[in-house]
Amino acid sequence: MSFIPVNAGGGWLRTFWLLVVVALVGSDLAISQPANSKSSPAPSLAETREACSYVAARGPAIAHELVVHGIFDVTNTKTKKVASIGRVDGMRGGEQVEYHDLNAPPGSPAATITPRSKWNGPADFGARWFRHRGRTYVLHFETESLRHATYLGYIASDNIEHVACDFTSTEQETLRPVRSEGSEICRAVAMGNVKSAEIDTIPPEKYEEVSDLSATHVVGYSTVDFRNTGRSAKLALLQSTPGGNVECIYNFYEPVKNGKPTLEGNEHDLLNTLQDSDSPKTCDENSVKWFRFGGKTYFQNRTNTSLNNPPSDVVRYVSGNNILDICLGQFRTKWHAGRKLDPE
C-alpha cells in the first residue's frame, strides 16, 4: 500500500479514511483473483527430452521417486488435483493413473484421461505418477513389477495424454556359483556349452490333456537320471496356461506311471520341490531343461519377468533326498529412451 496525497478539507482525517478504503479494496481484489488464473504451457520438447534421458539413466532405481498418491499439479496448469493409481476394469486388468478435483465428493468418478498418440508398443499393466523439475509425467510399465518401462507421457489441460518417448529394456544376467564346485558348471551354462537332454515332442494338434490339472497338456517326454542314482526315468513335460491365457506358459515335469503323468508319490514331490512348481502357477513364461555335466544330471529353470516377479535363473541337482543349488542368476535391467512420439 502506498501513500496517496489528498488535497481536501478535513486534512489528515479524510486522508486516513481514504487510505483505509484503498487498502480494503486492494485486499478484496487480491483475495478474489484466482491464484492459478494463468496456465503454464505443456512441457516443452527440451523438457521432455531431459525427463526421458533422466528416467532412462535411473532405470528401475527410479521406483522410489514415483508417486502413487498425492496432491499436485497433475495437468501442468498450476492447478492442484488429488492424484492416485486405480485399477483397469475388465479382464485386461492392470493399473492406470487417476485424479479428482480437490473438492470432489467422496465416491465421485475420476477424470477421464484420453490417450492422444497411437501406441504400438507392448501392452502396459503398470503406471505411476512422476514429478520432475516442476512438471508432472506418467510413467508406464509392461507389468506391475515396474521393471520394464514402456513410455513416458504427460497430461494436458484437456485431459489428453501425450506420449513423450518410449523405452526398451535389456536384461543383463550373470550366472553366479553358490557352491565352490559350481564355477565351471555356471561358466559352461552361461556360454551355452552344455547339451540339453532330448525331448520327444508331441505335435500341438496331438497334445495330451491332463484331466487333473486345469489348462494343462503333455507336450513331450524326456528320459533322464534326474535322481542321480544311475537309473533313468521317463518324465512328462507339461505345459500350463494359467487362467487359459495362451500368452502365459509355464513348463514343468512330472513322473510317468502307466504311460501317464502321475501327480502323487515321492518322485512327484521331489520334482515339485526341484522345480518350485508346488506353488500356484503364474504368468512366468519359463523354460526348463535337463543336462549332464561331470557325470551328474542338472536341472535349469529360467523364468522371464512376470506380472509381479522379476526374472530368475537357477541350476540345481538332486543328491539323495536333498536338492542342491549350484548357480543363481543375477539380473541387471537397463532402460533405453527412444524417440519422442507426440511432438505437440
For residue 311, what pLDDT is reported?
Answer: 86
For residue 34, what pLDDT is reported?
Answer: 35
Give the Cα separation of 126 and 60 in Å (integer): 13
Confidence label for 240 from pLDDT (cuts 50, 70 and 90): confident
Confidence label for 120 from pLDDT (cuts 50, 70 and 90): low
Domain limits, the chain: 45-170, 178-333
Stretch 207-234: mean pLDDT, rounded? Answer: 92
For residue 251, what pLDDT is reported?
Answer: 92
Question: 15 exposed, middle or buried (CB, 10 Å; 0-12, 13-18, 19+)?
Answer: middle
Owner of C-alpha cell 481484489: 29
Confidence label for 104 from pLDDT (cuts 50, 70 and 90): very high
Asked if residues 318 and 274 have their Cβ atoms less than 8 Å apart, the reply is yes
Between residues 6 and 79, which one has the greater pLDDT? Answer: 79
Owner of C-alpha cell 509392461: 142
Residue 158 CB partners (closer than 8 Å, separation 6+): none
The string of pLDDT tens digits covering residues 36-59 is: 334 456 899 999 999 999 999 999
Between residues 2 and 248, which one has the greater pLDDT? Answer: 248
Q: Of 8-22, 71-85, 298-312, give the range with the top mean pLDDT.
A: 71-85
Q: Of 18-22, 50-54, 142-146, give the range with the top mean pLDDT.
A: 50-54
Confidence label for 19 from pLDDT (cuts 50, 70 and 90): very low
For residue 276, what pLDDT is reported?
Answer: 84
Rounded to the nearest integer, the mean pLDDT of the chain is: 83
Stretch 155-162: mean pLDDT, rounded? Answer: 89
Confidence label for 83 from pLDDT (cuts 50, 70 and 90): very high
Rounded-to-10 torsion of CA 240, 241, 246, 248: -100
For residue 37, what pLDDT is reported?
Answer: 36
Stretch 61-81: mean pLDDT, rounded? Answer: 95
Distances (CA, A) of 265 to 34, 272, 276, 324: 74, 11, 16, 21
Stretch 17-34: mean pLDDT, rounded? Answer: 34
Stretch 108-136: mean pLDDT, rounded? Answer: 83
For the cut 80, the answer to whether the pLDDT of residue 341 exceeds it is: no
| Apex 178 CA angle, 175 and 184, nearest 5 | 60
Stretch 234-248: mean pLDDT, rounded? Answer: 78
**Of 23-27, 29-33, 322-326, the least confident:** 29-33
Stretch 2-13: mean pLDDT, rounded? Answer: 40
Instruction: Copy the grid coordinates of residue 38.
Output: 494463468
Between residues 29 and 165, which one has the greater pLDDT? Answer: 165
For the cut 80, the answer to whether the pLDDT of residue 180 exceeds it is: yes
Q: Of 11-20, 281-290, 307-316, give the range with the top mean pLDDT.
A: 307-316
Confidence label for 12 from pLDDT (cuts 50, 70 and 90): very low
Asked if residues 284 and 299 have their Cβ atoms less than 8 Å apart, the reply is no
